[in-house]
Amino acid sequence: MSENPLVASTSEPEERVLEAALRPKNLHDFVGQQRVREQLSLVLEAARIRERTSDHVLLSGPPGLGKTTLAMIVAAEMNAPLRISSGPAIQHAGDLAAILSSLSEGEVLFLDEIHRMSRPAEEMLYMAMEDFRVDIVVGKGAGATAIPLELPPFTLVGATTRAGLLPGPLRDRFGFTGHLEFYSISELELVLRRSAMLMDLKVNSAGFTEVASRSRGTPRIANRLLRRVRDWALVHQKEQIDAQLASRALDMYEVDTRGLDRLDRAVLQALCTKFGGGPVGLSTLAIAVGEETETVETVAEPFLVREGLLGRTPRGRIAMPEAWAHLGLTPPETSPIQPGTRQAPPSFGGGGEDG
C-alpha cells in the first residue's frame, strides 16, 4: 500500500468499523436513489461486457446521501482496487501526478470534494481523464522540458456538493453524471431496518418511523441517530425500541420531531422573538445566535429553507408561517408573512445588506 500522505487508506480505524459495516457493498443493497442506481448499473454492466474500464463518474448532491458509498460500490462491482483522496489535499499538479503515476490498470480513483482541487491540478486532470497521459514539466523558463508519462486506464469517480463550481471542461469529461436527492421517510426506514439488522437491534415499525422522520432526509444522519437511540436503550436496559423510547432518546439529544437541532431552533427563535420574524440580514442573525455567518448559512439555512421554515428575500431572512407554528408562537400583525399564507417569497442569494 502506498505511503503517500495525499491518499487515504481504505482500511477504517477501529472507531469507524461500525460505520464501515453499515455501508452497502453492492448496488443491490443500496437503498434509494433508484434512477441513479439503474443508470450506474447500466454503465458498469456495459463496461464489464466490453472488458474495459468504466467511464468516469461524477456524483453530486448534499452531504450524507451516499456518494462515497457509491464510489466504493463502483470499485467492488468492477472488481478493482480503490484509491481515495480529496480535492483539498491536491493543491499542486505534482500532488496529482504522484497519485496518477502510482495507479494500477483498472483502478478506481475516488476524489471527494473535487471542486476544491487547485486549478493547475484540474488542468492536468483533463489530459489524464481523456488520453490517460500527463506531461511532467522538468526545469523552469526557457530550459523547461515536458516529459510525457503514459498512465494505465483507470476510472475516476468524483464527488461534489457544489457541482456548479466545477469548470465546464472538467464536467464534460465525465461519462456519467448522477445527482443524489434527499430520501423520503419510507426510504430512510429501509436504511434503518438494514442498519438495525447489522447492529442486532430490536426496533418496531413505529420506532423506525420516529427515527426516520427526524433524520432530515439523510441516511448518514439516520444511522447516527439510530446509534444514539441504541446507546440510550443500552444504558436504560431496554430490549425493544419503540416510538416512545426513540422519541425520549432523541429529545435528550435535542433533535425535535422535524429533525431540527439546537442551532436550527436558535436561528428560528432569534428570528421570531428578537426580530419580529424579519427581514434581518444574515450576519446580524448569526451574531444573535452566537455563531459564525458561514455556519448559519451552510449548516442551518439549507434545511430550514427546504422545510419551508425560513425564507430568503432581497431585504434579508424572514420566518415563514411554519416556523411560527413549530415554535408555538403567534406572529405580530406587522409580520411580512401571516399564517395561512402558502406562497413563499422569492429566494435570492444575497439576503440583505450584511449577507
Q: At which residue does the C-alpha cell 408573512 appear?
A: 337
On whether 220 is known to bind a ligand per the annotation, the reply is yes
On whether 83 is known to bind a ligand per the annotation, the reply is no
On whether 126 is known to bind a ligand per the annotation, the reply is no
Q: Kindly give the pairing relationship between strand 310-313 and strand 316-319.
A: antiparallel
On whether 68 is known to bind a ligand per the annotation, the reply is yes
| C-beta atoms surrounding 248 within 10 Å | 14
On whether 64 is known to bind a ligand per the annotation, the reply is yes
Annotated active-site residue 202? The verdict is: no
From 37, 53, 68, 230, the catalytic residue: 68
From 37, 83, 220, 265, the catalytic residue: 220
End-to-end CA distance of the chain: 47
**Overall residue count recorded for the chain in this entry:** 355
From 67, 216, 230, 265, the catalytic residue: 67
On whether 261 is known to bind a ligand per the annotation, the reply is no
On whether 173 is known to bind a ligand per the annotation, the reply is yes
On whether 132 is known to bind a ligand per the annotation, the reply is yes
On whether 317 is known to bind a ligand per the annotation, the reply is yes
From 53, 83, 95, 112, the catalytic residue: 112
Annotated active-site residue 68? The verdict is: yes
On whether 312 is known to bind a ligand per the annotation, the reply is yes
Residue 209 and residue 184 in contact, taking contact as beta carbons nearer than 8 Å: no
Pairwise CA distance, residues 249 & 324, whole Å: 25
3-state secondary structure labels for all residues of the chain: CCCCCCCECCCCCHHHHHHHHHCCCCCCCCCCCHHHHHHHHHHHHHHHHHCCCCCCEEEECCCCCCHHHHHHHHHHHCCCCEEEEEHHHCCCHHHHHHHHHCCCCCCEEEEECHHHCCHHHHHHHHHHHHHCEEEEEECCHHHCEEEEEECCCCEEEEEECCHHHCCHHHHHCCCEEEECCCCCHHHHHHHHHHHHHHHCCEECHHHHHHHHHCCCCCHHHHHHHHHHHHHHHHHCCCCEECHHHHHHHHHHCCCCCCCCCHHHHHHHHHHHHCCCCCCECHHHHHHHHCCCHHHHHHHHHHHHHHCCCEEEECCEEEECHHHHHHHCCCCCCCCCCCCCCCCCCCCCCCCCCCC
Annotated active-site residue 295? The verdict is: no
On whether 130 is known to bind a ligand per the annotation, the reply is yes
Annotated active-site residue 161? The verdict is: yes
From 10, 116, 135, 161, the catalytic residue: 161
On whether 342 is known to bind a ligand per the annotation, the reply is no
Annotated active-site residue 220? The verdict is: yes
Q: Kindly give the pairing relationship between strand 145-150 and strand 133-138.
A: antiparallel
Annotated binding-site members for DNA: 312, 317
* Residues known to be catalytic: 67-68, 112, 161, 220
Annotated binding-site members for Mg(2+): 68
Annotated binding-site members for ATP: 22-23, 64, 67-69, 130-132, 173, 183, 220
